[in-house]
Every structure is written in structure tokens, then in C-alpha cells.
């Protein structure tokens, strides 16, 4: 069920959900109390400000019809990437929040619409409700603006991301130790999955940063100076998350190179042993092939100690080769 709120002089008050919805374009012209509006005295001006939080099903079923601009509705329900469209009298967009756990595939979507008098939030989770409650607790002595509430929603989106990136850093460090100590020729494909996850996070933070920049520019003039300061804080926070994610991407690529290097070292060690074994048996093979020709005029074949002499020669060859390989550090 949709939740409707109005900004009073003292608090954020919820209105009964049966209140009639009004198009944002007609919101300023109407005086009917059923239009979920309340006079909020700010800077000596008479301003009506309301908040609506609804699910996507409710938005598509009824709320979308209150907007007479299809482009605005499309901006709130695009479901392709994080973005914001800035119009002359409003801003509308959508946030596609990827799963923070690599094994999860579902993403969270939040749509929003903001003008000078109305904030509409579309959310199938409790994220926006949590952000609104946090705003209530933050602003005890003053009523927040609609821009501040939208900032609280955006801040809720990235809340805990720094701690999550720290957990990814610990995972990368553990993976590095495992690679260094690896004793088998086995590619750890979990690193590739982690790299893909970091790529998605990097793309997400880049889009989120663009949203913050566009809102901070305030080309339509619907945000206050305090709102712009808050969105500047949000943008800088997202930029730090973006930079840290990119550093983890580089770290992950280095781990992949380290893993390939370790595999190459193991392969070289194996080939070295094969080369040593082959080198030991090549002279013995030559010796046995030579005396295996069975020519009639080979006097060594008739010697009484010929067989023992060949064995001694073979052992001497083996000892000499082992000594040579040991001196070279191949054994």
C-alpha cells in the first residue's frame, strides 16, 4: 500500500492512503485538502510539499496516470541503468542497485520524481521508508526539504558499501595468500567471478556519481543551497567508492597475473624434471642401442666380464650426470 506524507512546520506526518492523487502539473493550482498537501511556511513563502512512497505495481496501476508527460514516467521506470533526467521544472530518474553479494543476481530498483512541491519514490523494498524514518530522527528541530529526503534515499543506497568493499579487500588478500602457497596446477576461477563483480560495481558507482553531479548542478533551480551541499557530499562519497573499486579491479588483475606466474613456475619445474630424466637416459639408450646391433665382429660381446663392464659404465654415466645437474642447481 502506498504511503503518503506531508511536510508540516514541526514534523513529517503521514496521510491516510485513501487521499486522492493529483497530477504534479496541477498540484500548485489546486486548493482542495484531499490533494495530500499542507501549507509549509519556509522563508516567508507559502509552499505545499508532499511525499509519496509506492511500489512499482501501484505506480503502474494508478500513479503513472497522474503524470501527463510520458517522458517523465519513462525516466522513473526505465530499468536499464542508474540515471536522472533533469527537466525545466522537475527531475526524474531511477536507481538500479546491484546485489552486494556475488552469489546474488537480483538487483533492487528505486524510481524517484522531484519538483518544488512533490517527491514521489517508487520502491518495492523498505529502503525509502527506512531513509524517511532516518530523516525524521535526524531533523528534530527543523523540517527537512524534499531535496534532503531524496539525499537520504541516495545515502541509504550506498550505506554500508564502504564496509562491503573492505570485506572484498580481505577476500582478495586471502586469495593472494592462497595463490602464493598453491602446490597444484589449478586455476582459481573464483578470481574471475570476483573481477566481473568488481566491474559491475565500478559501472554502478560511475552511474551513481553522474546522478549526483546532475542533481548538484540544479539546472532547474528546484533545490536549495543546503540541498546542493548535501548532494555534493553524496557525489564525493560515490567518487571515493568508485576509486576504491577501481583499485580492487587492478588488484584482482594482478592476482590473475600472479596466479598465471605461479602456474608457469610449476610447469617449468615439471619440465625441468622431465628434461633431467630424459638427459640421464639418453646416454644409456645410446649405449644399449650400440651393443644391441648384434654384429658378429663385436669383441665386447664375447668378453667374460663384458656385461658387468657395461653396467659399470652406465652407473658412471648416471653419477656424472647427477653431479653435473646438481652443480647447475637443476636438482
- Cβ 7 vs Cβ 50: under 8 Å: yes
Query: CA-to-CA distance for 307 and 268, rounded, in angstroms?
Result: 38
Domain borders along the chain are: 1-140+151-157, 160-263, 264-327
Q: Residues 244-272: what's their mean pLDDT? A: 86
DSSP code for 70: H
DSSP annotation string for 50-67: EEEEE-HHHHHHTGGGG-
pLDDT of 11: 59
User: What pLDDT digit, counting tens, does each position of 62-86 carry?
Assistant: 888 888 888 899 888 877 889 999 9
pLDDT of 153: 94
The CATH fold assigned to 1-140+151-157 is Beta Polymerase; domain 2 (3.30.460)
User: What pLDDT digit, counting tens, does each position of 161-201 carry?
Assistant: 999 999 999 999 988 888 888 755 566 678 888 899 999 99
* Same fold across 1-140+151-157 and 264-327: no
Answer yes or no: pTM beyond 0.75: no
93: helix, strand or coil: strand
Query: CA-to-CA distance for 4 and 110, rounded, in angstroms?
Result: 17
> Which residues, at least 6 apart from 331, have a Cβ–Cβ distance to it below 8 Å?
276, 322, 325
- Cβ 237 vs Cβ 105: under 8 Å: no
Alpha helices in the chain (DSSP H): 56-61, 70-76, 127-138, 146-158, 161-180, 190-217, 225-290, 306-327
User: What pLDDT digit, counting tens, does each position of 219-233 carry?
Assistant: 999 999 999 999 999
> Which residues, at least 6 apart from 182, have a Cβ–Cβ distance to it below 8 Å?
188, 259, 262, 266
Domain 160-263 has CATH 1.20.58.340: yes
Domain 264-327 has CATH 3.30.465.10: no
Query: CA-to-CA distance for 322 and 331, rounded, in angstroms?
Result: 8
Amino acid at each position: 500500500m502506498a504511503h503518503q506524507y506531508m511536510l508540516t512546520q514541526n514534523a513529517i506526518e503521514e496521510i491516510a492512503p485513501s487521499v486522492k492523487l493529483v497530477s504534479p502539473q496541477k498540484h500548485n493550482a489546486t486548493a482542495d485538502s484531499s490533494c495530500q498537501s499542507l501549507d509549509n511556511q519556509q522563508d516567508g513563502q507559502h509552499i505545499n510539499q508532499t511525499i509519496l512512497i509506492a511500489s512499482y505495481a501501484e505506480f503502474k496501476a494508478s500513479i503513472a496516470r497522474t503524470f501527463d508527460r510520458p517522458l517523465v514516467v519513462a525516466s522513473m521506470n526505465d530499468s536499464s541503468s542508474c540515471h536522472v533526467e533533469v527537466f525545466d521544472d522537475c527531475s526524474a530518474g531511477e536507481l538500479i542497485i546491484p546485489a552486494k553479494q556475488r552469489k546474488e543476481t537480483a538487483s533492487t530498483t528505486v524510481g524517484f520524481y522531484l519538483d518544488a512541491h512533490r517527491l514521489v519514490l517508487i520502491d518495492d523494498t523498505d529502503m525509502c521508508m527506512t531513509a524517511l524514518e532516518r530523516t525524521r530522527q535526524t531533523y528534530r528541530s527543523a523540517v527537512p526539504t524534499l531535496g534532503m529526503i531524496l539525499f537520504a534515499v541516495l545515502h541509504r543506497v550506498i550505506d554500508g558499501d564502504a564496509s562491503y568493499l573492505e570485506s572484498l579487500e580481505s577476500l582478495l588478500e586471502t586469495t593472494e595468500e592462497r595463490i602464493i602457497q598453491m602446490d597444484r596446477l589449478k586455476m582459481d576461477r573464483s578470481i574471475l567471478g570476483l573481477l566481473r563483480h568488481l566491474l559491475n560495481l565500478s559501472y554502478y558507482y560511475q552511474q551513481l556519481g553522474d546522478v549526483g553531479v546532475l542533481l548538484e548542478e540544479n539546472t532547474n533551480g528546484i533545490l536549495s543551497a543546503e540541498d546542493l551541499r548535501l548532494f555534493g557530499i553524496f557525489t564525493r562519497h560515490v567518487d571515493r567508492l568508485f576509486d576504491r573499486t577501481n583499485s580492487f579491479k587492478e588488484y584482482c588483475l594482478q592476482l590473475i597475473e600472479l596466479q598465471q606466474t605461479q602456474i608457469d613456475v610449476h610447469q617449468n619445474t615439471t619440465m625441468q624434471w622431465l628434461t633431467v630424466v630424459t638427459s640421464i637416459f639418453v646416454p644409456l639408450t645410446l649405449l644399449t642401442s650400440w651393443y644391441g646391433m648384434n654384429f658378429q665382429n663385436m669383441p665386447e660381446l664375447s668378453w667374460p666380464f663384458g656385461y658387468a663392464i657395461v653396467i659399470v659404465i652406465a652407473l658412471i654415466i648416471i653419477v656424472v650426470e647427477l653431479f653435473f645437474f646438481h652443480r647447475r642447481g637443476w636438482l
